[in-house]
Chains A and B, each alone.
Chain A
């Protein structure tokens, strides 16, 4: 208990806690729709793009978040548009974007060199959370929660059956675009904390775990946010106590939750 009290006496820990809780909340809400529409790898692809952008920003002394955010948002539009019109399969497209960005990032860093530890971008660092991150996280989460409250039914309709949703006049293109932008912001903010290799787990795990527990959309949405926030807090505290990397500890906690719930659901169904 004393280590927990000590942990939160550091201001960087408080910042990490606030941003982490808000990002976990946003990632899980967006994740429900992405996972169920089988688009969950978008988060993974965008995080690799984010890595490339962060690397270039570091080399040329740009502010990383201001440089990475528009690049990742543009990439998400690209994925959406090419997905609709291109002959390439969605997953191949994401793989191309993902590996190319990772390659460009590593290439640029090795040529020009940077002062920052490359591991911070790949696996995250709680020390990198700034006041700007907190402000953007608060704005982002307020927007996503408001969007969910006012458009929950439409989000469900689009997630379940986009063709039907379009036929009854729901602007599915607008919602898809909105989700792509929100996913980009979540990824860019979250990868500072979790790292580009691990951030997509915040989008995917909570939904998959919730689906082990519940069979209706509303319960999955609510429970995935709860699971996501609790897993983050437990992961953050565990990483401090065990002196392990924060991002990977949070992912391991999410994995443990998923395995436990999977076992419970197996036992129940038997």
Chain B
């Protein structure tokens, strides 16, 4: 059974349509890269799946998944450069979809996710003192605390150097191998290095949703 079904989904703002009649099934353990030029509706689609905007028409069906149990990593976290928050405080906040107060279970979950991403040593550090790559891992760990099924990542490699980018992608691939479904918006249109098993390409003239291999084949034919 699909994890999420988008049925005739039309999304936009103030009735101005951005994406029209999207029909997609997201299967368990998929790794979908969402690509497309600026303004093509990538972030709008994600907001629609997360329920941050209401569909103009159509619907999003969640199977065995609650909407607020999706781990979301926003494109930018525009925090003050002196924001007083420790890594542990931030990662723990990912569990707030389930509880109001943290118990041992939530604390263990946060520590576990810090460990999985190899950043347990950063636990007591201030978020703003970290490098770009480390920050992204902290935000990824927070998203992991919110879900055990689906991660939605909005351009997670933005502003990262190539080494940190590679490191982050390897981590995401590892998570997918551990049965976490991934939807990732990416600007890295280097087609030889596309990751994931499926591509959703949003272009004005055409929307493509299919296997990565098929996408690459089409691109080479164009």
Q: Which residues of B contact A38 (CB under 8 A)?
A: 80
A38-B50 Cα distance, complex, nearest whole Å:
26
Q: Which residues of B contact A216 (CB under 8 A)?
A: 84-86, 89, 126
- Report whether B101 and A153 are in contact in the complex, using a CB–CB cutoff of 8 Å: yes
A170 pairs with B96, CB closer than 8 A: yes
In-complex Cβ contact of A168 among B89, B92, B139, B146 (8 A): B146
Number of A interface residues in the complex (CB < 8 A): 27
- CB pair A167–B52 under 8 Å, yes or no, is yes
Chain A binder among B68-76, B173-181, B195-203, B208-216: B68-76
Cα separation A153 to B69 with both chains bound (whole Å): 17
* B-side interface residues, number (CB < 8 Å): 34
Q: What is the 8 Å Cβ interface bit string for chain B, positions 83-97, against chain A (1 contact, 0 not)?
A: 111100110111011
Q: In the complex where A156-B85, A216-B89 touch, is A168 in contact with B97 (Cβ < 8 A)?
A: yes
Is there an interface contact between B90 and A160, defined as CB atoms closer than 8 Å?
Answer: yes
| Interface assignment of B79: CB less than 8 Å from any CB of chain A | yes
**Residues in B neighbouring A151, C-beta threshold 8 A:** 100
**Chain A interface SS verdict (over half):** helix
Chain B residue numbers with a CB within 8 Å of A150 are 100
Q: List the A residue with the shortest CB-CB distance to B75.
A: A163
A36 and B80 contact, CB distance less than 8 A: yes
**Which residues of chain A have C-beta atoms less than 8 A from B79's C-beta?**
36, 160-161
Q: Give chain A residues whose Cβ lies under 8 Å from the Cβ of B92.
A: 153
Contacts of A210 in B (CB 8 A): 84
A168 touches B96 (CB 8 A): yes
| Shortest Cβ distance from B106 into A: residue | A153
Residues of chain A within 8 A of B129, CB atoms compared = 215
Shortest 7 CB-CB contacts between residues of A and residues of B? A169-B68, A168-B97, A167-B72, A215-B126, A157-B93, A216-B86, A220-B84
- Chain A residues close to B by CB (< 8 Å): 36, 38, 150-151, 153-154, 156-157, 160-161, 163-170, 210-211, 214-220
* Interface pairs (27), CB distance under 8 Å: A36-B80, A153-B101, A156-B89, A156-B93, A160-B77, A160-B85, A161-B79, A163-B72, A163-B74, A164-B139, A164-B143, A165-B93, A166-B52, A167-B52, A167-B70, A168-B69, A168-B96, A168-B97, A169-B67, A170-B96, A211-B84, A216-B84, A216-B126, A217-B89, A218-B89, A219-B84, A220-B84
